């Protein structure tokens, strides 16, 4: 009898989860077939992947620490047809005040009147159904294909060969909540970047909420980096704490490329970010950094996958987490070295600072090596504020809260200093200070 009871206790949550997944699948299916891209062959191909993969069953290993129940148990609507009324002053408050070419999206739709009049050497156009896009590096994620099939206006960004561009291309993605309280707004952002050979380029992604109401954001950036090119990428996700954010960034390198990507995650009830890179040419180098600062009961789920496909390549990853209150931070990183990739030099590090009694961090750096003559390592640390450091600062007359903030900033500053843009790094520092002080 007791065995039957145990089986029943296990079966009921699974049944509820299956019903929830089926209802969510039905809701998203209705949204897709009522969307403006439902008749596009390419979008239909992506949607067939959504139907094939489905939402994850209960206790799925990829979502063990980031449960999807609250997200799927919601009625969504696509809100990308609404043209917003946004003033120049509001835009100034939301945007980073940086000298750049600016592309503005609102609820997944390109806003030409808010964007720059021209984009210098970059060619910007809407993707058509014939666009040749790279296959996803990780191809079993339903939220990736939801973005691919539901993004209203996918954008193609091209930089022709032999351009050394110093000013950044700034992509500002603004999302608002739904006007009806019984619905939650969904907005999807999709762009593909094609960088030619012998180029230097700098792209900034910025995600921000227009208001304090719930919404779901899906984003996907893919990039092909040509031979002998330098590509610098920054992502700042600072949406409100009622939002949910699912992002998938894929980068493919050529020969002798230098790629640097820095991601800052502040805000969102659940933020799941995937960065996947294939080093497809020899003598290429990748630097991948991130900083996550969840608070209250927020969850940040940061995942990376790096594939070394050619010899003489290097990759360096440094990920830092500051978990406040009852928040949760998850990091999963995989470096895969194929048999041909001799002389690979790779290192992956994740450092966590726990600042709440019930704060959690879960870390899993991994190596999968099939080549000889390589140098690969991984490591992780978890710690708390050092009492001796705190005592030293307080003994110098610094109030305890200020002393804690100084230690936290010192922990984060390595990531912030590595961002090659003073205006952006100052903006990030201001957001962190506001989060720590509760202002």
Q: What is the pLDDT of residue 9?
A: 59
Q: What is the DSSP string of 134-192?
A: PPPSS---HHHHHHHHH-SS-EEEEE-SS-B--SPEEEEEEE---SSTT-EEEEEEEEE
Lowest mean pLDDT among 130-134, 202-206, 264-268, 296-300: 130-134
pLDDT of 258 > 60? The answer is yes
State pTM to two decimals: 0.94
Q: What is the pLDDT of residue 2?
A: 46
**Which DSSP category does 62 fall into?**
G
pLDDT of 158 > 60? The answer is yes
pLDDT, tens digit (0-9, with 9 covering 90-100), for 80-89: 655 567 887 8
- CA-angle at 156, arms to 155 and 162, nearest 5°: 150
pLDDT of 129 > 90? The answer is no
Lowest mean pLDDT among 3-17, 22-36, 276-290, 409-423: 3-17
CA nearest to 298, candidates 317, 321, 276? 321
Alpha carbons 283 and 289: distance in angstroms, whole number: 20
pLDDT, tens digit (0-9, with 9 covering 90-100), for 186-202: 999 999 999 999 999 99
Query: Quick one: average pLDDT of 259-284?
Result: 97
Query: Quick one: average pLDDT of 48-72?
Result: 87
What does the block give as tokens for 388? 């001796």
Query: How far, rounded to the nearest angstrom, does the alpha carbon of residue 390 sit from its chain's CA centroid?
Result: 33
Question: In whole angstroms, how far apart are CA 3 and each of 9, 11, 235, 264?
Answer: 10, 12, 50, 48
What does the block give as tokens for 51? 């139907």
| 58 pLDDT tier (thresholds 50, 70, 90) | low
């Amino acid at each position: 009898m007791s065995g039957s009871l145990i089986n029943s206790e296990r079966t009921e949550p699974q049944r509820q989860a299956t019903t929830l997944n089926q209802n969510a699948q039905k809701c998203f299916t209705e949204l897709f077939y009522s969307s403006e891209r439902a008749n596009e062959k390419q979008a239909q191909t992506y949607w067939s992947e959504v139907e094939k993969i489905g939402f994850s069953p209960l206790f799925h290993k990829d979502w063990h620490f980031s449960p999807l129940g609250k997200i799927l148990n919601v009625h969504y609507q696509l809100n990308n047809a609404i043209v917003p009324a946004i003033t120049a002053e509001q835009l100034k408050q939301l945007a980073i005040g940086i000298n750049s070419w600016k592309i503005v999206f609102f609820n997944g739709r390109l806003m030409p009147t808010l964007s720059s009049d021209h984009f210098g050497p970059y060619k910007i156009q809407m993707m058509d159904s014939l666009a040749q896009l790279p296959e996803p590096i990780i191809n079993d994620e339903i939220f990736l294909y939801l973005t691919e099939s539901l993004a209203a206006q996918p954008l193609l960004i091209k930089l022709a060969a032999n351009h050394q561009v110093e000013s950044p291309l700034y992509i500002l993605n603004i999302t608002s909540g739904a006007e009806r309280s019984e619905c939650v707004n969904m907005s999807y952002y999709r762009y593909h970047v094609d960088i030619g050979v012998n180029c230097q380029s700098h792209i900034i992604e910025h995600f921000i909420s227009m208001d304090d109401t719930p919404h779901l954001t899906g984003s996907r950036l893919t990039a092909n980096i040509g031979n002998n090119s330098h590509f610098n990428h920054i992502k700042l996700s600072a949406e409100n704490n009622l939002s949910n954010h699912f992002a998938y960034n894929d980068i493919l390198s050529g020969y002798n490329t230098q790629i640097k990507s820095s991601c800052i995650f502040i805000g969102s009830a659940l933020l799941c970010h995937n960065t996947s890179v294939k080093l497809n040419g020899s003598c290429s180098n990748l630097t991948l950094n991130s900083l996550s600062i969840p608070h209250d009961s927020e969850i940040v789920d940061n995942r990376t996958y790096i594939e070394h496909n050619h010899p003489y390549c290097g990759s360096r990853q440094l990920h830092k987490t500051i978990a406040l209150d009852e928040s949760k931070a998850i990091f999963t990183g995989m470096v895969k070295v194929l048999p041909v990739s001799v002389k690979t030099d790779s290192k992956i590090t994740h450092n966590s600072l726990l600042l709440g009694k019930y704060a959690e961090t879960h870390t899993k750096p991994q190596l999968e090596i099939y080549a000889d003559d390589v140098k690969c390592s991984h490591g992780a640390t978890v710690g708390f504020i050092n009492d001796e450091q705190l005592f030293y600062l307080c003994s110098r007359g610094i109030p305890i809260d200020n002393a804690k903030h100084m230690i936290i900033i010192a922990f984060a500053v390595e990531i912030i200093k590595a961002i090659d843009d003073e205006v952006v790094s100052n903006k990030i520092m201001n957001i962190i200070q506001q989060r720590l002080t509760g202002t």
